A and B are shown apart, each in its own frame.
Chain A
């Protein structure tokens, strides 16, 4: 079959099972958009900014587990993807970015809209390709998707010069991919390590599980829960691992770290064995590194060998995907009796449970989120932006399944929430998708309301509007003598009118009594986005908090501690 390079690209994507792409065309993407014209087997969603396209592809991937694909033109189109690619890279999300490029004869000559995007993205992609021959395209697409979705997942970029898009080739579908220099593993460690791990677990008196995003990407949620139940060990799930074990599970301690629960952080401080599954000792978890879990032996299960010993040297490395390792581990572990340790954890969990502050006159973020969880029973997909509302969401919403709490964990990208929720809604059209955003972050990518209206996506955007860049303000209040420098964003649009001007539904809520009604109304709307402008208390802070670089003993548990 004779196809143009651009047609071969689209056909290869379809052959690899790609159903939707998020993107924006431009001069060097016209042949590729021409190849999309009239096709019904691949949906082409036109975003309004390339950053939105990248985050939408990312949100799609996080919600569905499938690869997310975004398109952008050369130069500024490509550089606008960069933040989105870096976000996906930090959180190990499978993503494919396709960029147009100036013709091969013009490469490196400062042509109009030229940028060396493979060079720019080298540190933030798992791999990248600059395709010089159209014949290579089918193989490159298959390889790129294979690389992005296997091993430790991550973003891959394909840069395609315009003459390569136009060249005609003899198209043959790629049957299988084999790359001699890339052999992704399920399991590198042998059974001996698993047996050693089981012995350590069985011998421990005060074990705890530290579960991260690797559990979600390996689809090992069931195994993790089974392991925790069989061995009778409590588990803390990170921001990336939220939902890997249900927040309602009696053995779930919630999130550890800087804004983690007291129970999870005390468990980490006092444990004698830490079983780390698909997590990487992020500094937002560990705080002061030499104080972290200092009495514990550490078993580190991770698919990426480079994570072993990167931050903390484990006593036992298990290089494996979490599903394989946990499956093998489950039959080898004994049930721990319900001893002093578990009783202590249960007591902490109860004593320090996240409670909504009883301040009836104020509209508090904790109250809104607790209501949200109550109404949706934990069945909605909650996508957050970055800041105070993100931490409140992690602490006050209940996730009962993996892939239902999506957040920019590693890169902390403001502007991520709404376009990622857009992508999640495209991937899971039947789900109730809530974007929990701040008034700051929402204004960074709110232009995607236009395609959300166009696509009739019923994404519910909950703006936690405190007219501040709230997390920075919180740090300034606590550690910088209340010098509120550069955080006042009270000059802002009327979000209700803004939503309406896009053709979305807008609701303003400024008292607790109206929260439930507004949330229920948003759930009833199925054919357009709903923006709820929650005028929350402007100076409410997130607690607990371990100040940056400190340890669990420095934790501020509530506002009375400061």
Chain B
């Protein structure tokens, strides 16, 4: 079950070959689907890559796009986590402006979010935070008053809760 309202995540297991990403993304683009986030990386099986695609929720359109994705020759499997409990995580690196007087306070904020300060300069902190999209959204909101210089987010990765796996 998506932890983020109105968003939907799909996991696509694909052959680890050049051009496969373009085929999958092209399919979404041609149907006017905006991809909110996309992560791709190799799995424990080096011949298979795993894509996690987050899109806006539109049940009918989504069912169609999942069927079409399944038809691509290089797609091994599509897993739709709709109505299935999942763990979802995203990682963000945020470079935030910090005055000497605010350092302690900012470190406390980071602590509460179990975020790590991974780099410090005279005028900035770079903070690493992981969690659901909504947790990261909340963290970003809190940092805004200090002045965010740069923010990078990985996009969501998803795994089902319990013993079942995407391949099973």
Contact = CB atoms under 8 A, between A and B. Distances in A.
Interface of A: 118-119, 122-123, 126-127, 130, 147, 179-182, 304-306, 308-310
A309 B22 CA distance: 26
Binding site secondary structure of chain A: mixed
Contacts of B72: 127
Interface string B26-62: 1000100000000000000000000000000000100
Binding site secondary structure of chain B: helix
A127 B70 contact: no
Which among B30, B63, B70, B73 has the highest number of chain A CB atoms within 10 Å?
B73
Contacts of A309: 60, 63-64
A147 B71 CA distance: 11
Contacts of B23: 122
Given A118-B19, A130-B19, A304 B71 contact: yes
B75 interface: yes
B15 interface: yes
Contacts, number: 38
B76 interface: yes
Contacts of B14: 181
Contacts of A308: 67
A308 B76 CA distance: 21
A310 B64 contact: yes
A147 B60 CA distance: 28
30 contacts: A118-B19, A122-B22, A122-B23, A122-B26, A123-B26, A123-B30, A126-B73, A127-B72, A127-B73, A127-B74, A130-B18, A130-B19, A147-B73, A180-B76, A181-B14, A181-B15, A181-B73, A181-B75, A181-B76, A305-B70, A305-B71, A306-B64, A306-B67, A306-B68, A306-B70, A308-B67, A309-B63, A309-B64, A310-B64, A310-B67
A124 to B, nearest CB: 11
B73 A306 contact: no
A305 B67 contact: yes
Nearest to A306: B67
Nearest to B63: A309
Contacts of B74: 127, 181
Nearest to B68: A306
B161 to A, nearest CB: 26
A182 B64 contact: no
Nearest to A132: B18
